[in-house]
Chain A
Amino acid sequence: MQLKYIDEFRDPRLARGVVGKIRAAWGDRPAMRVMEVCGTHTVSIARAGIRSLLSGVVTLISGPGCPVCVTPDGYIDAAIGLGERPGTILATFGDMLRVPGKRSSLEKERAKGIDARVLYSPLDAVEIAAKNPEKEIVFLGVGFETTAPSIAGAILAAADGRIANFTVLSSIRTIPLAMEVLASDPEVRIEGFLCPAHVSAIIGSDAYLPVAEKFGIPCVVAGFEPLDILYGIYLLLLQKKRGAATVENEYARVATQGGNPKALEVIGKVFRETDTAWRGIGVLPGTGLRIAENYAAFDAERKFGIEIPSAEERTACRCGDVLKGKISPPQCPLFGKACTPEEPYGPCMVSSEGTCAAYFKYGVQ
């Protein structure tokens, strides 16, 4: 099956050409430290073997852009707590099921009898609510700006349909301010950001101007296919070479400078900015989205009077350092030993987009 607008961006002949161009342009300069912020980039880079294709030219550091990975364990515990209430159906994206909380995971609790369902769209959760008025449907709203408008759209649909048994337990995070925190961390030493494709489709490439301007770090928005990533890296190398720090957009077929105004309007209607905890990183001011007062009836935290604790237990798992790009997965003492995709210990090994899972699966050293 041919997939239009995907296959063309995977052409191996063109990829070889771009790699040749990159090597020729960079010469024997020391490798540039580039962070790919988004987990979808991490998987694509690992799958296409881009690290080894560009070894010596760029050192690719994986960032915190896997929503499941940065969701604190307190959130999982809160979700399990809600799932244990009689008559409750938890609805979630698939990756969330196996993430360990402090005491258990949704998958383990499901085996013991809680009703946790994996859905493709938050709209499906609204539909389940409409069909089961005697049940409470709680959607586990995890994601970044890419997913925020879809979750907001589901809340608007529930409000329109006067569906009173649908709520969202929000754990939505936003990217640009988190990038600023990483940019200012001397231990991470980022020299260039490969910016997320679909977060940028929503917020627009101009959202990274403060990162480029305040910290002097080149930023390039790139699509998720191998050619997009290679060309995005090429643009970052060229910026570094000429001493520039601007925002460029390789993914012009989808992302624009200003983003998607309608999606931003929907986010602005349903959510408000808040401080939020990132697993392994801590509380980052202004990087979360909570449900606005007008839609409080759809906020699981308010409706059920719960609060998600942000404190974390300290363990040997070094997920936090992996998420900040301070170490690569094989440097964690648990990697591949006490922590594998079959028996994950930390969230970076659970999610298919987690840095540790990508390293394990594709044998990156």
Chain B
Amino acid sequence: MCLGVPARVVEVKGTSATVEVGGARREISVLLLDRVTAGDWVILHAGFAIEKLSPEEAEKTLALFREISDATEVH
């Protein structure tokens, strides 16, 4: 029940926003976020964006996975 999906913000109108999830558009609430603009990634849960998703942090984590994964393959 705590599942949330990454969604990309297309347009913000006050506390509402249009987001794109897997190619489909939805209207959601961004009441729970302080600042959100078009292009941001958010986590969507029960009709609300509950937090932003940082693409930079995602890339850092993936780089870490690649690093330790490749290190294992060499040995």
Contacts and interface: CB of A to CB of B under 8 A. Distances in A.
B66 A14 contact: yes
Provide the main secondary structure of the chain B interface: mixed
A257 to B, nearest CB: 13
Nearest to B64: A231
B38 interface: no
Nearest to A201: B51
* Size class of the B contact interface (CB-based, 8 Å): 35 or more
A353 B32 CA distance: 25
A229 B22 CA distance: 23
Contacts of A231: 61, 64-65, 68
Contact of B43 (A1, A17, A196, A254): A254
Given A68-B1, A123-B47, A1 B69 contact: no
Interface in B18-49: 22-23, 29, 31-34, 41, 43, 45-48
Contact of A150 (B8, B46, B62, B66): B46
Contact of B72 (A21, A123, A227): A21
Contact of A253 (B4, B22, B32, B54): B54
Contacts of B4: 146, 197-198, 201
Contact of A149 (B6, B50, B65): B50
A199 B65 CA distance: 24
Interface of B: 1-6, 8, 22-23, 29, 31-34, 41, 43, 45-48, 50-55, 57-58, 60-62, 64-66, 68-73, 75
Q: Nearest 3 CB-CB pairs, A to B?
A: A17-B69, A121-B47, A20-B72
Interface of A: 1, 3-6, 8-9, 11, 13-14, 16-18, 20-21, 24, 38-40, 65-68, 93, 95, 120-124, 142-144, 146-147, 149-150, 153, 156-157, 196-199, 201-202, 224, 227-228, 231, 234, 250, 252-255, 260-263, 266, 351, 353
